Structure 1
Amino acid sequence: MHAKDIMSTKVITVKCDTTIKEIAQILIEEKISGVPVVDDAENLVGIVTEGDLLHKEASPRIPKYFGILGATIYFGGNEQYKEDFKKLAALKASEIMTTKVITADKDTEISGLANLMVEHNIKRIPIVEKDKVIGIVSRADIIKTFAVK
């Protein structure tokens, strides 16, 4: 089986200027945990998930550092701190979205999708064709295939 056999083709997307409040309402009303973000040409540019939205209430993770002779030396976590802080201050999709989206095409085998989800610790994979979202596969879509085997 392939992505095209199990993907949801009615994909709810948002635009870059969609507000955080609107995104939260969509996730709740549609009972989904993430939504692809598309530009005006409908090209995939990011994804906003419940995990991204949690940053609005969480404190930024402090970078690892040590002090020596009155100086603070950072040795890890600076980029994560900057990203956390950016998401904390976000007001719209373009400011909170994850831009490095793991995607697949419609002919990707289910085992390949499952491997991507496990490897990247993600819950959904947009299925794209020429940068356009044509479907989405969630963990639940893959689990459903166990019932028909």
Structure 2
Amino acid sequence: MNEKKAKDIMTTDVIVAKKGDTISKVANILISGKIGGLPVVDDDNRVVGIISETDIIKKEKKVHSTPFINVLEGIIFLDDFNKMEQDLKRIAAYKVEDLMSKNIVKVYEDDAFDIVANIMISKSINRVPVVDEDNKLKGIICRYDIIKAMYNE
């Protein structure tokens, strides 16, 4: 049985998003950092949500653009293209608070490794914020951290 606690395996240098950040900004952070999601914090560093690539993709699937671009003898109908471009710009302008998951699972610094791992597995989540008793962000644990803790003892 692993004696480690959440604070022993968490990443403490956490990139975060704010509720007012644009989806475009967050998407660029996810892409450049090669990460799947970010905790969303308020001005007091309290966790208020999680924004993930899945949240963004779900919204993009709901875009009301045409399912295909009409091509007739090599001419693209500009109405369809312009509509699609407008929809993509509209999504990029959404704020984090519009798309973030608000019902989040979080763990505490002194939670046992086994509890954290079981929560992540049973709830099928890829990342879990680690908070203190005031709900302030202290770190984050990703599945990678779980595997690392299991095999780097």
TM range (shorter): 0.7 to 0.9
Does the aligned pair in 1 maintain the 2:38–2:50 contact within 8 Å?
Answer: yes
Inter-partner Cα distance in structure 1 for 2:58 and 2:92: 9
| Distance change >3 Å, CA 46–CA 139, structure 1 → 2 | same
State the alpha-carbon separation in 2 of the partners of residues 49 and 90 from structure 1.
Answer: 16
**Partners of 1:23 and 1:99 in 2: how far apart?**
16
Pick from 91, 101, 105: which aligns with 1:102?
105
Letter in 1 for 2:33: E
Shift of 1:89: 9.7
Is 1:54 the counterpart of 2:20 in the alignment? Answer: no
Secondary structure of the equivalent of 1:56?
Answer: helix
* Deviation, structure 1 residue 108: 1.0
Deviation per CA, 1:69-89, whole angstroms, max 9, x where unpaired? xxxxxxxxxxxxxxxxxxx79
How far is the alpha carbon of 1:26 from its aligned partner? 0.6
CA–CA distance in structure 1, aligned partners of residues 92 and 25 of structure 2: 16
Equivalent residues in 2 for 1:109-128 (5 A)? 109-128=112-131
Rg larger for: 2
CA contact (8 A) 2:24 2:92 kept: no
- Assess if the C-alpha contact under 8 Å between 2:24 and 2:93 holds in 1: no
Matched, 1:37 2:30: no
Going from structure 1 to structure 2, the CA distance change for 1:90 and 1:103 (only over 3 Å counts) comes to: farther
- The residue type equivalent to 2:147 in the other structure is I
* Between 112-121 and 15-24, the greater mean CA deviation after superposition: 112-121
Structure that is richer in strand per residue: 1
Q: Give deviations 1:82-124, integer Å, cap 9, x for gaps.
A: xxxxxx7980100000001100001111111111111211001
- State the TM-score, normalizing by the size of structure 2: 0.74
- Aligned pairs, how many? 122
> CA 1:18 to 1:89, structure 2 compared with 1: closer, same or farther past 3 Å?
closer
TM-score by length of 1: 0.76
Contact 1:90/1:96, CA 8 A, preserved across alignment = no
Quote the sequence identity (%).
41
Structure 1 spans left out of the alignment, 5+ residues = 61-87
**Unaligned residue ranges in structure 2 (runs of 5+):** 64-90
Q: Match for residue 10 of structure 1?
A: 13
Measured in 2, the distance between the counterparts of 1:95 and 1:89 equals 11
| Coordinate RMSD, CA, aligned | 1.8
